[in-house]
Structure 1
Amino acid sequence: MSLNPSPESGKNQNHLKNEKSPYLLQHVDNPVDWYPWGDEAFNKAKNEDKPIFLSIGYSTCHWCHVMARESFQDPEIGDLLNQVFVPVKVDREERPDIDSVYMTVCQMITGSGGWPLTVIMTPDLKPFFAGTYFPKDTGPRGTGLRDLILNVRDLWDNKRGELVKSAEELTHSLQQISEGPLPQTVKGSQGFPESSQELGEEILKQAYQSLSDNFDEKYTGFGNNQKFPTPHHLLFLLRYWKHTGEDMALTMVERTLDAMKKGGIYDHVGFGFHRYTVDRQWMVPHFEKMLYDQALLAIAYTEAFQATGKTQYRETAEEVLEYILRDMRSPEGGFYSAEDADSEGEEGKFYLWTQDEIMDLLGSNDGALFSEIYSVSEEGNFKDEATRVKTGKNILHRTQTWDELSKKLGISTEELWWKTETARETLFHARKSRIHPHKDDKVLTDWNGLVIVALALAGNSFKREDYLMAAGDAVKFIMTKLHHQGRLKHRWRDGEAAVDGNLDDYAYLIWGLLELYQATFQSEYLEIALKLNQTLLEHFLDHDNGGFYFTSDFTQKILVRQKEAYDTALPSGNSVQMMNLEKFSLIIDDMKISESFHGLESYFASMITQSPSAFTMFLSAIILKIGPSFQVVICGEKDSPDTQVLLNTIQKEYLPNVILILNSSDDSLINQIVGSLEHKTIVNGQATAYVCGNGTCHAPVNNPDDLINILK
């Protein structure tokens, strides 16, 4: 063991001392001699003939903190780990490629996964054991880490052959899973497979029916246990409703969005959503706040507003974006990753309230009103994690709508709202004096791409120029700090960009650029998107079978190179890229883009048919493919009233199957990008709309009603 003394803390520091990841730096003073992922650790394992103990987590993970306090900060456990293993720490958000591979291993072995992720593997990175959280000592919570270490030491010394055989079999199975089922196809003209199973209306119906069957009629959302937001399900259902007219699809979306906003999963004082709830009712959250959840939910609420015109969805989207811009934005314009669940060693302490605190801050009358609205009681509704006894602390949540509360309390909804907002601001300012949860201040390209999507959509729909400016600043940040010679980096922190960009980095950013172009009509965003797409086609595409690998062909190899399309808490990169490619095909005529799109469908079709609802983002792209989908070109000067009338006509509607292009005299770049604009000009001396889609181009129109009639 070679721990180095820290001049700042006086403690010994391990090999994480030069890392930038906030998660790794949380473990720099552990008695465990952690190494970062890399050759130094792997060579040490080979030279000393030791297995590798891989621990994967993230800086705002509650159970990661628990395992660290119980075990990794314990000198005895640290000494055992150092004797038996070469310990390696990985930040799952910094290295999603590593996390994805070994999480698949954990799911293969145990049937489930989560963080902290614990994997034990040979010096050549082949795993033979995996699990998640382990307590220090064996007991009611399961096998203890101490016993696990001693058991592995005995097996490594006395039955290594069995471990190595197990590792080889697991690795072989992992490679088969990562390669996926090869489609039963013949090669097309460009070398990609021609799909023997094209995805169509039937698979959409199956996915919808699966979501409908899994919908919690009583409490909304999907499933009857823990509740995750899964906004990609909601985006699919919105598109399915638009595509088919199935009202129940929209109903599921609205009821779920309404319940989440009222529930404890929402921070009613400072805004933004917590990661998930441990119950069916959207009531008791794990309190960490992830940037990607905020972005995806802002997108879902914005699209719900577009689809229904209901102001509560706009207000929620604006509140979430207020939280992002207020608390998660770096001075340089990028967006931080997450905020912790814990503060002062307790989960949720920052967010919980006693009734006495509320009464002291608001006074008896307003305090009683606020307590009625947000279900605050003297005994509280938050239970101690170990004893399950109520603590006197309250998770703020509403059980009634504003209209129901107005009738019950005999107060107009307007007065009720103003009283509630005044009380909220008082609590918000009081909460500022509390010790804040840790903020993970690394900037990730992929999650920032999702924020750009959210800001662009909301800025466009709500006519919020500040959102569009913030989105533009984020693009500038990425292209300045995280982009070099046509390639993206994944992580920026403390002045350093590191880790080669993965599929999600490119796909999510391209999505954001496409939305930002349609909101601002600054053609350089479209140009950047096409260049990034070219990098994906050159370095991520499986040219033999179709689909995109998660890692590029120039990235340092890990155990396997995965290719996935199922959605997790985030939509998969292949699904988002499927959508991007279809949108590109509506903008430009490019055979490589068209072939890549069909190659994606061909590769994943058989997998998707087995479990359609696991691929809802991919199926949203299939809806775009089936159509009718349209390219709408508006010819006119951007700031002229007649042009703005046509643009606003499109932008205020929910039209997910429309790509909007502005052809103005002062934009020569757009004519270089979109070759078909040459013959599209102003007709009748007024701004003119040209609509093409599904093999048909309609006659140009000047009237906004005529334009909407074509699209509807």
Structure 2
Amino acid sequence: MDDGMNRLKSEQSPYLLQHAENPVDWYPFGEEAFEEAKRKDRPVFLSIGYSSCHWCHVMREESFEDEEVAEILNRYFISVKVDREERPDVDHVYMSFCQAMTGHGGWPMTILMTGEGKPFYAATYLPRESRQGQLGLKELLLEIHRLWVEEREKIVSSSEYAVKAVKEALNEKKEGDLSSDVFRKGYLSLKNAYDEVHGGFYIAPKFPVPHHLLYLLRYWHKEKEPDALEMVEKSLLGMYQGGIFDHLGYGFSRYTVDERWLVPHFEKMLYDNALLLSVYTETYQASGKRIYKEIAEKIIAYIDRVMTTPEGAFYSAEDADSEGEEGKFYLFTREEVLEVLGEEDGAWFSEVYGITSSGNFEGKNILNLLHHSLEALEKEEDEKLVRLRRKLFAYREKRVKPGKDDKILSSWNGLMISALAYAGKVFQKEEYVLRAEKALRFMMDHITDEEGNLYASYRERRSMHKGFLDSYAFLLYGVLSLQEATLRNRYLHLAEQLAGDMVEEFYDKESGLFRLNGKGHEKLVLEAEDIHDSALPSGNSMAAASMGKLWSLTGKEKYKAILEKTFNVLGGEIMEDTMGFSFLLTAYRTLSDGPKEVVLSGKLEEKPLREMKHSLAAIYLPEYTVVHHDPKRKDRDGELFSFWREPEEGKGTAYVCRDFTCSMGIHDAKALLKHLREG
């Protein structure tokens, strides 16, 4: 180390840079660290986290900034620090071990392993000293050192067994056909996990899991099951009413520690807000209820104000902590509110937002609307209330703000591009679509090299790490959303290019699935293969959804073949755990029901076709894709499609197609909507 800095000083990740001045002699993940471990005959201490993680901060302050802990690590171990958001492959592989060894996972993740990368011990947060029955880091490290010196064969044997067991478990996929009742089974599994009192799933901690809600919305639409829509609405309103939503600055936190959605773990992640924006927008389109549009637009306002770079891309996260305290930025005492807003207005505001003298979180207050009805929520934009919120927000803005993870992830940017494009289409707001297009241009100009290779991360004018499956699959999904919002086939051309690169780099023909890391990545102790939808849809699920869209839009069988193979390989797994594949099952609709498209043919700028385009955005048709065929561009776009439709009699014409068999031409918006509703 030099000048008190370790090997992380040249990294770009804010999380790694938070540890660059630790007395621990950290290495970034890579060949150098493992070669050094072998040369010095030491085990590897691997610590994985992310910059907005509260308990990662706690462990850093308690242990990694502690000279005594650092001395033990530096003397007996090779220490490796990983940002899970930059290296999803490393995180996924070692999380598999952590869950297998401990029965649970989380961050910070602590792994002890051999110089070959084979784990023999796993844990999540560890305090510096042992307390209340929990093993402390110091005691653990000294005991591991003793075992490494005195009983090495036991450690090596344990690591070999762990790798063998986890590899076998990951390779044991239950193949089989999906039965006709898989969608009903998926609905019932979600219903069984549903919290009928507060909405959402399970009790606590409670995560939004937007793709579960998306699945229920699609199920309601297809099967006309009213309970499915009720579950979605109760969950979305409960989240908005609770403290998981920031009622002053907007945006959603990652999860709540209670079942009521009241007490958040205060960090805000780009991916949560992107997926929730999509679900609130889709629920507005499905239900027509204005409140979902208002919430969606508040999410966009938050993203625009806090999470958007000057160049139009999107930052990764906001921290839970400020001034070393979790949630300090967001909390108020009642006295503080009265002082800022005045006695009369402050008392009224406090009644609206559940602010009391005793508080609802460690003597202070998390603003919430949990005691309000839907009718009260719909009146929430009262002019006086808006004025008071702005006043209290301005006061809060003078506080020390939470830290921001300002790296740009191509995967999460893809999700926000998709959400903004969709919101722009549904709300008929071109500025949202323009924001999505601006972000995509940044991705193409700065996170893609001259050969067209996508990178995973960008910060301070530097791209890092070749793109992983999530980088390609999520950005591809965003590009396809832009195509549907704009009907510009240049986005379809780009989508085909991204899809081709993704298949070439990540698709394993032997397994029939996509690998998380590609041919150009270093080999890990296990293949990184992510199939289950968890906090985020998996890369395989996103890839499958895009394959379905591309098949529907272009008619090309190569996309269908990958989609079919995915469900053949995972059929048994899906039937056993439908909740773990809720997003993937939305892609299965395309395969089971056949593709459905609306082809708009002719000049899009002319009134009949323009009106038909706008009318399609107003109705909820999640199973349909929409594409534009411009006769003047047939020479350029013709190769995109295995089917092509010309306008009739030179007039703008719509065709409703199922399995690439199309209706007679339709020439006005009313007739098109009538055909779709009756069909």
Q: Which TM-score band applies after superposition, normalised by the shorter structure? A: over 0.9
Q: How does 1:384-403 map to 2 (within 5 A)?
A: 391=363, 393-401=364-372
User: Are the structure 2 counterparts of residues 644 and 106 from structure 1 closer, same or farther at C-alpha, using a change threshold of 3 Å?
Assistant: same
Aligned counterpart, 1:203 = 182
* Deviation of 1:628 (Å): 5.6
Deviation at 1:676, TM superposition (A): 4.6
Q: Tell me the equivalent position of 1:66.
A: 58
Instruction: Count how many residue pairs are aligned between Structure 1 and Structure 2.
Output: 676
State the one-letter code of the partner of 1:610.
Answer: E
Aligned to 1:125: 117
State the alpha-carbon separation in 2 of the partners of residues 488 and 448 from structure 1: 13
Residue equivalent to 1:347: 326
Name the structure 1 match of 2:396: 431
1:626 corresponds to = 592
Question: Who is 2:166 aligned against?
Answer: 174
Kindly state the Cα deviation for residue 559 of structure 1 after the two structures are TM-superposed.
1.5
Equivalent residue letter for 1:437: P
**CA shift for structure 1 position 592:** 2.2
Pair 1:403–1:281, CA change in 2 (3 A): closer
- Deviation sequence 1:564-619 (CA, Å, 0-9, x none): 32111100111111111111111223232221111111111111111111110011
Q: Shift of residue 707 of structure 1?
A: 2.0
- Tell me if structure 2 keeps the 8 A contact 1:262–1:397: yes
Q: Deviations over 1:402-460 (max 9, x none)?
A: 66659xxxxxx758621211111111111111000100000000000000011000000
Rounded to whole Å, the distance in 2 between the matches of 1:256 and 1:105 is 33
For the 8 Å contact 1:243–1:623, the answer to whether it is kept is: no
Quickly say closer, same or farther: Cα 1:533–1:404, change in 2 above 3 A. Answer: closer
1:58-93 Cα deviation digits (max 9, x unpaired): 011000001111111110011011111000000000
Return the letter of the residue paired with 1:218.
V
Superposed, 1:82-161 pairs within 5 Å as 82-140=74-132, 142-161=134-153
Measure, in 2, the Cα distance between the counterparts of 1:364 and 1:673: 69
**2:319 aligned partner, one-letter code:** D
State whether residues 373 and 405 of structure 1, in contact with CA within 8 Å, keep that contact through their aligned partners in structure 2: no
Contact 2:598–2:626, Cα closer than 8 Å, also in 1:
yes
| The 10-residue stretch of structure 1 (549-558 or 16-25) with the greater mean CA deviation from structure 2 | 549-558
Q: Which residue of structure 2 aligns with residue 409 of structure 1?
A: none
**Structure 1 residue 661: deviation in Å?**
0.8
Report the Cα offset of residue 38 of structure 1: 1.1
- Counterpart Cα distance in 2 of 1:693 and 1:213: 34
The amino acid that maps onto 2:107 is W
User: Is residue 207–residue 255 contact of structure 2 (8 Å, CA) maintained in 1?
Assistant: yes
Question: 2:321 aligned with 1:356, yes or no?
Answer: no
Aligned position for 2:284: 305
TM-score by length of 1: 0.93
- 1:122-176 superposed Cα distances (whole Å, 9 cap, x missing partner): 0010000000000011111610001000110111011110110110111112222
Q: 1:398 to 1:182 in 2, by over 3 A?
A: closer
For residue 432 of structure 2, what is the aligned residue in structure 1? Answer: 467
Residues 1:33 and 1:597: Cα distance change in structure 2 (over 3 Å): same
The 1-side partners of 2:636 and 2:427 are apart by 25
1:594 aligns with 2:560: yes
Whether the aligned pair in 1 keeps the contact of 2:548 and 2:563 (CA below 8 Å) is yes
Partner Cα separation in structure 2 for residue 572 and residue 416 of structure 1: 37
CA–CA distance in structure 2, aligned partners of residues 486 and 253 of structure 1: 40
Counterparts in 2 of 1:643 and 1:145: CA distance versus 1, 3 Å: same
- Counterpart of 1:555 in 2: which secondary structure? coil
- Choose which of 154, 157, 160 in structure 2 pairs with 1:165: 157
Distance 1:478 1:669 in 2: 28
109-118 vs 542-551, which moves further = 542-551
Distance in 2 (CA, whole Å) between partners of 1:397 and 1:536 is: 43
Q: Residue 507 of structure 2 aligns to a residue in which SS?
A: coil
Contact 1:583 1:659 in 2 (8 A): yes
TM-score normalised according to structure 2 size = 0.97
Q: 1:352 and 1:360 mapped to 2: Cα distance?
A: 15
**Contact 2:353-2:367 within 8 A present in 1 as well:** yes
Whole-angstrom CA distance in 2 between matches of 1:399 and 1:134: 35
Q: 1:289 matched to which residue of 2?
A: 268
The unaligned stretches of length 5 or more in structure 2 are none
* Cα distance change on mapping 1:403 and 1:324 into 2, 3 Å: closer
User: The residue matched to 2:407 in structure 1 has which SS?
Assistant: strand
Residue pairs, 1:311-350, within 5 angstroms? 311-350=290-329
1:418 aligns with 2:397: no
CA contact (8 A) 1:633 1:661 kept: yes
Note the alpha carbon deviations across 1:303-335, whole angstroms, 9 max, x for none. Answer: 000100101001111110111111111112211
Question: 1:26 Cα deviation (Å)?
Answer: 0.2
The whole-number CA distance in structure 2 between the counterparts of 1:78 and 1:298 is 43
Structure 1, unmatched stretches of 5+, are 6-11, 184-196, 384-390, 407-412
Answer whether contact 1:271 1:320 (CA < 8 A) is retained. Answer: yes
How far 1:219 moved relative to its partner? 1.1
- Which amino acid in structure 2 is aligned with residue 22 of structure 1? P
Matches within 5 A, 1:386-535: 391=363, 393-401=364-372, 405=376, 417-484=382-449, 485-535=451-501
State, as a whole percentage, how many aligned pairs show the same letter.
42
Do the aligned partners of residues 416 and 233 (structure 1) sit closer, same or farther apart at CA in structure 2, a change above 3 Å counting?
Answer: closer
State the distance in 2 between where 1:36 and 1:375 align.
46
Q: Distance in 1 between matches of 2:308 and 2:663?
A: 44
1:199 Cα deviation after fit: 2.3
User: Residue by residue, what CA displacement relative to the aligned partner does 1:338-370 show, whole Å, maximum 9, x if unpaired?
Assistant: 000000000000001111111111111211111
- Write out per-residue CA displacement over residues 659-701 of structure 1, whole angstroms, 9 at most, x where no aligned residue: 10112345457633433554x2222553211111135321111
Task: Supply the RMSD in Å over aligned alpha carbons.
Answer: 1.6
Which of 581, 589, 599 does residue 547 from structure 2 map onto? Answer: 581
Moved more, 32-41 or 286-295: 32-41
| CA drift at 1:639 | 1.8
CA distance in structure 2 between the aligned counterparts of 1:365 and 1:265, rounded to whole angstroms:
27
The aligned residue for residue 601 of structure 2 is: 635
| Secondary structure of the structure 2 residue equivalent to 1:377 | coil
- Verify the 8 A CA contact 2:551 2:595 in the aligned structure 1: no
Secondary structure of the residue aligned to 1:118 is strand
How far, CA to CA, are the matches of 1:593 and 1:134 in structure 2? 46
Which residue in 1 is equivalent to 2:673? 708
Q: SS of the counterpart of 1:128? A: strand
Distance 1:666 1:329, change over 3 A: farther
Structure 1 residues 266 and 428: CA distance shift in structure 2, 3 A? same
Question: Given that residues 627 and 657 in structure 1 are in contact (C-alpha distance below 8 angstroms), is that contact kept between their aligned partners in structure 2?
Answer: no
More displaced, 245-254 or 603-612? Answer: 603-612
Q: The residue matched to 2:8 in structure 1 has which SS?
A: coil
Answer yes or no: is the 8 Å Cα contact 2:555–2:660 preserved in 1.
Answer: no
For 2:603 and 2:405, how far apart are their aligned partners in 1? 44
2:576 equivalent to 1:610: yes
Q: 1:39 to 1:214 in 2, by over 3 A?
A: same
